Amino acid sequence: MSMPLFSGRAAAGGGPTSEPSALLQLEGVRWVIDRGLPSERTVLGGIDLTIREGERVGIAGRSGSGKTTLVTILAGLLDPSAGRLLFRGRRVESADERPFRSEIGFVFQEPESAFFEETVLDDVAFAVRNAGFAPDEARVRATAALRAVGLDPAAFGPRLPESLSGGEARRAGIAGALVLTPRFVFFDEPTAGLDAEGIARFRALLATLRAAGTGYALISHELPLLAAECERILVLAGGRIAWDGPAHALAAGAPPGWPPEVSAPADALLEIAHGLRERGLLDPAVPATPEALAAVLAEKRFGNGSHSGAG
């Protein structure tokens, strides 16, 4: 999947050997629902978090643990009940502040619910127009964004957003998030409802973002996906960050300190992968995704004389 929007862009942050600079920070962030009512509930309680330039973060946790609330606050789409959000060390007072608004992208779990223009092209171009670009520039950028996510602008640009299939709507939503070439993109359950081809397209897009130095955060229940596509994993439980560590720590199952109230990360897949690695059938560098394990098991059953993609 080509990404002309991101071609040639240098990664921000420190030099090749320095630690990337902080992009987003939360300090003492709390979020309370139904404040002052009998149903009052703390969704997030005292979150301190730093996300750095170009970082690739996976966010896991049980339903209702506060994952979506966390990233919505990080993206500036929701004000915290207490605490503050900082962008490159400066407090964000409004999500409309620039460059914050143009450098942070967000893809909703149900992108079709966020469409409001009459055509797909106009909807993707909205952020560019809203940033003050001329209409012609907005169309050029929107056309490139649609092409980047595998939607032919000539075929899909004039269509009504509500006429798109689920997978097409997801890709159009991603195009709208990428049209301003953000430095960091949040994806809420990006592979939910996608078929194998759609997941492959999405992972190819992530590879392009990585190559451009663009950071991202994925909310997903698919721990193998997070382990394969992210370098850092956060687990939310009880409104707090219960585990924060490197993705490679998941390679052999639940690592030390993994919160007991959260299901271990894809135990069955990880156990199978561990057994295959012990037998020399799976390269340690290959993530324990369903696709990788299926490939090595099919090879074992049918025998083609090579472990190529799996080991």
Residues with catalytic roles: 189
Instruction: Give bridge partners of residue 185 from the DSSP assignment.
Output: 105, 216
Instruction: Give bridge partners of residue 235 from the DSSP assignment.
Output: 60, 243
Whats the size of the chain, residue-wise?
A: 311
If we measure between CA atoms, which residue out of 127, 85, 125 comes closest to residue 105? Answer: 127
Amino acid letter for position 57: V
Cα–Cα distances in angstroms (integers) from residue 69 to residues 43, 66, 108, 167, in the given order: 8, 5, 12, 24
185 contacts 249 by C-beta, under 8 angstroms: no
Instruction: Name the token pair of 226.
Output: 């997070």
Q: Quick one: which H or E segment has residue 170? A: helix 166-178
Give the whole-angstrom CA distance, residue 153 versus residue 90: 38
**Angle in degrees, CA 149, 153, 157, rounded to 5:** 110
**Looking at beta carbons, which pairs linking 39-48 to residues 24 or more positions away fall under 8 Å?**
42/239, 43/69, 43/239, 44/69, 44/70, 44/73, 44/80, 44/239, 44/240, 45/238, 45/239, 45/240, 46/83, 46/240, 47/83, 47/240, 47/241
